[in-house]
Amino acid sequence: MLRAEYATRGPVPQDVIDAVEFTPPPLAEGQALVQVLAAPINPSDVLTLTGQYGLLPPLPAIGGNEGVGRIAALGPGTSAPPVGTTVMLPPGSGTWATHLVAEAGKCVPLPGGVDPQQLAMLTINPPTASLMLSDYVTLAPGDWVIQDAANSAVGGYVVQLAKLRGYRTVNVVRRESAVAPVQASGGDVVLVDGADLARRVAAATGKAPIKLAIDAVGGASTDHLASCLAPGGTLVNYGMMGGEPCQVSPANFVFKDVTLRGFWLAFWFRNATPAQVQALFGEMATLVAGGKLSARVAATFDVREIKRAVALAAAGEREGKVLVVPKA
């Protein structure tokens, strides 16, 4: 059995992590041994390895915060989920591994017969997209939403969920080569970012009022989105892919009354009721199982190839998610 461990953090994320062999301890009551089927490498995972994320586990640690697996064995007196069940792995359980030991009660059963690679990405990005679309602005069918980083995994889920809910999307990317993939995924309008973004958005939408903007880039891109909003609009930031803090001009803050909010899924989990969590994941799992929600996969790697996997995930100009898929 293998897992990807790191004992330090540093500026080059692939340099601090290695695949090491391990033997799981005997299972206690209430525990399950889970065979990992697939686990993604998210931007937050890379930031955790470099020490720049908002929540850092104590060292040494095992990489990976989400994924999907199959129950391989149960501890004494434990009967559920049954052996063989496909489950969502508990968040933060160190999922870049061939196997892991988890509390059986925290392993959420998932539909069988569904692509495990798509199920593996269920825990973080789809809920992020869904909540940003619903929790800040009341939208109606036909309304427009604008986002940057539209070619990211979250961006792709925003496009799909918006379409399912009847909203139209303006999708901003940072390079011309990203336009076609976002158009192919269903984006209504796709534009390359720039200082004149507001003019081009107004032309593309017929000057439709836009109440919600979603930002993952930061820097000047935040202000470009703010310039596209209607007076009183809300801009939600969930990342800093550009490496710079959010910038919003007084012209947008003062004269357009734009509101800038931050979103972190960890805060939502802390405050949500079990019923709310169950409802959200139930909806997302149903959509994935029905083929209505998916994300592009750029590459898959075995646990032994974790350094290559992390290096690719940390690199730019990549279309799709990098997944750790342990070899059988």
pLDDT at residue 86 above 80?
yes
Read off the CATH number of the domain in which 218 is found. Answer: 3.40.50.720
Q: Does 105 map to a domain?
A: yes
pLDDT at 240: 87
Domain that holds residue 143: 125-266
Q: What is the mean pLDDT of the chain?
A: 95
- Asked whether residue 171 falls in the same domain as residue 242, the answer is yes
Catalytic residues: 53
Question: How many domains does the chain fold into?
Answer: 2
Please state, in angstroms and rounded to a whole number, the distance separating the CA atoms of residues 84 and 72: 6
Q: Does 214 map to a domain?
A: yes
Q: Does 228 map to a domain?
A: yes
- Asked whether residue 46 falls in the same domain as residue 173, the answer is no
pLDDT at residue 16 above 90?
yes
**With bands split at pLDDT 50, 70 and 90, how would you rate the model's confidence at 179?**
very high
**With bands split at pLDDT 50, 70 and 90, how would you rate the model's confidence at 6?**
very high
Q: How far is CA 61 from the centre of its chain?
A: 21
- Asked whether residue 145 falls in the same domain as residue 262, the answer is yes
Read off the CATH number of the domain in which 309 is found. Answer: 3.90.180.10
Q: Does 21 map to a domain?
A: yes
- Asked whether residue 130 falls in the same domain as residue 259, the answer is yes
Q: What is the mean pLDDT of residues 140-164?
A: 96
pLDDT at 225: 98
Burial class (CB in 10 A: 0-12, 13-18, 19+), 183: middle
- Integer angstrom CA distances of residue 136 from 32, 93, 144, 263: 38, 30, 14, 10
- Asked whether residue 116 falls in the same domain as residue 145, the answer is no
Please state, in angstroms and rounded to a whole number, the distance separating the CA atoms of residues 187 and 277: 28
Q: How far is CA 292 from the centre of its chain?
A: 17
Q: Residue 192 has which token pair? A: 């390359």
Of 266, 283, 303, which closes a domain?
Answer: 266
